[in-house]
Chains A and B, each alone.
Chain A
Amino acid sequence: MFTGYDFDVIQRSLPYLFKEGMVFTLTLTALAMVGGIFFGTLLAMMRLSSIRVVSALAGGYVNLMRSLPLVLVIFWFFFLVPYLYGAVRGDGRPIAIGPFYSALITFTMFEAAYYCEIMRAGIQSIARGQVWSGYALGLNYWQTMGFIVLPQAFRNMIPVLLTQTIILFQDTSLVYVISATDFLGAAAKVANRDYRLVEMYTFVAVIYFVISYSLSLLVKRLQDKVAIIR
């Protein structure tokens, strides 16, 4: 059945696939998750603000990001950011910042919109009385958010945040459109060089499945654990 296939190519390219490709993918996922949750939380607080301009700004941003295909945003940032960077530096000359940083900025900004909606639901799940009780103690808005609302919102939302991160992990493979060497990109390069497409892409699929599925099992176990006793 497997005559004509050469699965040894996988073994030969393992160091390249993992040390370059997977490290890129995991680093990008982790950093974009941290950045995305940070900015997403800020966006969520803005969306829930009683100051209309602030909530409209955040709402507009979130709706824009959620209405655009990710591939488009990746492209767009990749070509635009060098110009922006050049403009900020003052001489206006575009400066290549490389696929990694371009992808990191893109995913952080893009995922922030999705993390925002999760954190917004999380913040809204905290009873109004908790906020009142923080204010009644004399805490200001930032303290009430930081010590009371966000820790609880975050805890309630950990499973959903992680599920979104699994999606992010899979989505990072789209950086192949800007020729970045992520896990899929590395495999694609080997596949094309050695003309071993079936072998490489099957292997990549298996690895993505194993990682994503074990993460989602972990989420399931976490879900039962994090519930706060009330």
Chain B
Amino acid sequence: MISIENVSKWYGSFQVLTDCTTGVAKGEVVVVCGPSGSGKSTLIKCVNALEPFQKGSITVDRVSVGDPKTDLPKLRARIGMVFQNFELFPHMSVTQNLTLGQVKVLGRGEDEARQRGLKLLERVGLIAHKDKYPGQLSGGQQQRVAIARALSMDPIAMLFDEPTSALDPEMINEVLDVMVDLAKEGMTMMVVTHEMGFARKVAHRVIFMDAGKIVEDAKKDDFFGKPRSDRAQQFLSKILHH
């Protein structure tokens, strides 16, 4: 579904990604972890071309992301993305947030878009808040709306960029629960996160990144059982002790 081959990226002369190769198969859940500054967020943003990359290739459903001829809006509309800071549109109600993309990009009618949006809002347990504005919701609620918004476009895959990092601890689980359900339904997911509990529960594979390189790309059980690289072992021992 998503294939990343030899991707390198520079900010000026600083290399943020070095020769990254990996992929996500249909229905697979891949967790990307690693210390901050290791390029995880940059890599996931390259997948739907929010960040350009200079070398290598990324294809999503056999469409090349880096090809200048690719219709990027059309491609992005098929990939859902959830951000660390939610990024709901603060000047629109929850319902408007859910319908904007469906109406403007997919060309659905207002009624159809609203029905689809409200159904997903119900699914994330926030139907009571449909007329509120994002600023009136808690962080966890906003992130659940953001997930519903991404799902309303009926994506073929979902990207999560540290979806719980900006949340208060007591709100993390409400978001993870939604994501776990999604994974169990067979959604193709690429998730940048430090939530190793989530990784243990639903990930098929875990990718560990450090200093812009993919250091470890292993099946979940192998990764948690006996990570091959010292760097990954160190990282795990640090975050799992807490």
A residues bordering B, Cβ < 8 Å? 127, 129-130, 132-140, 143, 147-148, 151-152, 155, 228-230
Instruction: Please give, as numbers and ranges, the residues of chain A lying within 8 Å of B48 by CB-CB distance.
Output: 135-136
* Of A132, A143, A229, the contact of B83 (CB 8 Å cutoff): A132
Question: Which A-chain residue is minimally distant from B83 (CB atoms)?
Answer: A129
Instruction: Please give, as numbers and ranges, the residues of chain A lying within 8 Å of B81 by CB-CB distance.
Output: 132-133, 136
Are B135's CB and A139's CB within 8 A? no
Are A229's CB and B105's CB within 8 A? no
| Those of B71-85 within 8 Å (CB) of chain A | 72-74, 76-81, 83-85
* Majority-rule SS of A interface residues: helix
Question: Which B-chain residue is minimally distant from A154 (CB atoms)?
Answer: B91
Question: Which B-chain residue is minimally distant from A230 (CB atoms)?
Answer: B135
- Minimum CB–CB distance for B202 against chain A, Å: 22
- The answer to whether A148 and B73 touch (CB under 8 A), given A129-B83, A137-B100, is no
Interface string of B73-117 (1 = CB under 8 A from A): 110111111011101111100000000110011100000000000
B residues bordering A, Cβ < 8 Å? 45, 48, 50, 72-74, 76-81, 83-85, 87-91, 100-101, 104-106, 133-136, 149-150, 153
Are A229's CB and B153's CB within 8 A? no
- Minimum CB–CB distance for B103 against chain A, Å: 10
Are A155's CB and B91's CB within 8 A? yes
Docked pose: A34 CA to B170 CA in angstroms? 48
* Of B73, B84, B85, the contact of A139 (CB 8 Å cutoff): B73
Please give me the 10 A-B residue pairs with the lowest Cβ-Cβ distance, nearest first.
A138-B77, A229-B135, A133-B87, A137-B101, A136-B81, A138-B105, A129-B87, A140-B73, A138-B73, A138-B76
Are B89's CB and A130's CB within 8 A? yes
Are A152's CB and B90's CB within 8 A? yes
Instruction: Please give, as numbers and ranges, the residues of chain A lying within 8 Å of B78 by CB-CB distance.
Output: 138
Are B87's CB and A137's CB within 8 A? no
* Of A143, A151, A229, the contact of B136 (CB 8 Å cutoff): A229
* Of A136, A138, A148, the contact of B89 (CB 8 Å cutoff): A148
Are A147's CB and B87's CB within 8 A? no
Are B105's CB and A139's CB within 8 A? yes
Are B50's CB and A136's CB within 8 A? yes
Docked pose: A89 CA to B73 CA in angstroms? 42
* Of B74, B104, B106, the contact of A143 (CB 8 Å cutoff): B104
Instruction: Please give, as numbers and ranges, the residues of chain A lying within 8 Å of B133 by CB-CB distance.
Output: 229
Q: Given A147-B100, A148-B89, output 14 extra A-B contacts at Cβ < 8 Å.
A: A129-B83, A132-B83, A133-B81, A135-B76, A137-B76, A137-B153, A138-B73, A138-B77, A138-B101, A139-B101, A139-B104, A139-B105, A152-B91, A155-B91
Are A228's CB and B83's CB within 8 A? no
Question: Which A-chain residue is minimally distant from B77 (CB atoms)?
Answer: A138
Instruction: Please give, as numbers and ranges, the residues of chain B lying within 8 Å of A130 by CB-CB distance.
Output: 87, 89
Question: Which B-chain residue is minimally distant from A143 (CB atoms)?
Answer: B104
Docked pose: A229 CA to B149 CA in angstroms? 20
11 residue pairs A–B, Cβ–Cβ below 8 Å: A133-B87, A135-B76, A138-B77, A138-B106, A139-B101, A147-B100, A152-B91, A155-B91, A228-B91, A230-B90, A230-B135
Instruction: Please give, as numbers and ranges, the residues of chain B lying within 8 Å of A151 by CB-CB distance.
Output: 91
Instruction: Please give, as numbers and ranges, the residues of chain A lying within 8 Å of B84 by CB-CB distance.
Output: 129
Instruction: Please give, as numbers and ranges, the residues of chain A lying within 8 Å of B150 by CB-CB distance.
Output: 136-137
Docked pose: A34 CA to B27 CA in angstroms? 52
Residue with the greatest number of chain A CB neighbours at <10 A, chosen from B80, B87, B134, B153: B87
Instruction: Please give, as numbers and ranges, the residues of chain B lying within 8 Å of A152 by CB-CB distance.
Output: 89-91
Are A132's CB and B73's CB within 8 A? no
- Minimum CB–CB distance for B60 against chain A, Å: 13
